[in-house]
Amino acid sequence: MSSEHPIVRDPNGPVHSPVRGSAPRPETPDWGINLRISAAGFTARRITLTPTVLADSRAFVRGTLARWGYFTRLDDAALIANELIGNAIQHSPIPHDYANPVWVGLIRSPHYVLVAVVDHSPVPPGLNALPGIGESGRGLLIVQNLADDWGWSATATGGKTVWAVLKTWPLR
C-alpha cells in the first residue's frame, strides 16, 4: 500500500500515524486480508483531493498493472478507476476528508484484475439512461462496457465498495 506516512496498527486501539502522534487514522480497507490475498497480489491507495487526483490515480493503476505484467488491460483498468473515483468524489453526500477518505484498491490473480473504490457514502451507484449530449452521466456505462463484470457492496462502516473485474486470461 502506498501512503504519505506509514500506518501502524496498534492491537489495543485505533490506527495511528507515527508522524501525527496519537491522532487516529482511518482504517485501510482490509480487502486483501478478507480475500486471503498475499501482499504481492494487492495494493491500495488513499485518495487525496488535489487538482491532479484523477491523473495521479490513473498513474497509480497503470504503474501497478505494469509492475504486475498486466499490460493488455492497463488502459481499461486506469479508465475504470478514473470513472469510479470520479463518481465517489462527485456524487457522495459525505465530504471526503481525512476522516472520510476514498480508497482505490487493486487485486490480481492469474486470470483477472479487480479494481475497487471504497467511499463512505451509503448511496448505491446507478446506471443512468444515456444522457444524450450532456457532459456527465456516462461513467458507469463506460465501466460496464470495459469490465467483464462489475458491481457494488455495502461496507461494514456504512459506505460502499464499487468494483470491476477485468479478465487477463483468456482475453475476451
Q: Closest Cα to residue 78, out of 115, 53, 46, 51? A: 115
Beta strand 112-119 pairing with 102-108: antiparallel
Give the range of the structural domain holding residue 37, as residue numbers without chain letter: 29-167
Supply φ then ψ for residue 111, to 5 degrees. Answer: -115, -5
The reported pLDDT for the residue numbered 116 is 95
Is 123 contained in some domain? yes
CA distance 55 to 40: 24
pLDDT of residue 54: 93
Which string of DSSP letters, residue by residue, matches 15-70? Answer: EE-SSSTT-EEPPPP-HHHHTT--GGGEEEEEE--STTHHHHHHHHHHHHHHHHT-
**Residue 122 counted as domain residue:** yes
On the question of pLDDT at 166 being above 50, the answer is: yes
* Residue 57 is assigned to a structural domain of this protein: yes
Q: Which residues contact 47 (CB under 8 A, 6 or more apart)?
A: 53, 57, 85, 88, 89, 96, 101, 102, 103, 104
With a cut of 50, say whether residue 162 has pLDDT above it. Answer: yes
What is the reported pLDDT for 98? Answer: 60
Sign of the CA dihedral with 64 first, then 66, 71, and 75 last: positive
Residue 49 lies in a domain: yes
CATH number of domain containing 48: 3.30.565.10
Beta-carbon contacts of 86 under 8 Å, excluding residues fewer than 6 positions away, are 54, 139
pLDDT of residue 29: 53
Mean pLDDT of 70-90: 92
pLDDT higher than threshold 60 for residue 110 = yes
| 22, part of any domain | no
pLDDT at 42: 86
pLDDT digit string (tens) for 116-156? 999 988 888 877 666 566 566 678 888 999 999 999 999 88
Query: Where does the pLDDT of residue 171 fall: very low under 50, low under 70, confident under 90, or very high at 90 and above?
Result: low
- In tens, the pLDDT along 8-61 reads 333 333 332 333 333 333 344 555 555 555 566 888 998 888 889 899 999 999
d(CA 161, CA 106): 12
Average pLDDT of the residues in 76-84: 95
What integer pLDDT is reported at residue 91 of this predicted model?
74
Is the predicted pLDDT of residue 90 greater than 90, yes or no?
A: no
Which residues are CB-contacts of 148 (< 8 A; sequence separation ≥ 6)? 112, 165, 166, 167, 172
- Picking from 97, 104, 100, the residue whose alpha carbon sits closest to that of residue 44 is 104
| Total structural domains within the chain | 1
Crossing angle (nearest 10°) for helices 139-146 and 74-91: 150
Q: Say if 1 falls within a structural domain.
A: no
Q: Given this model, what pLDDT does residue 28 score?
A: 47
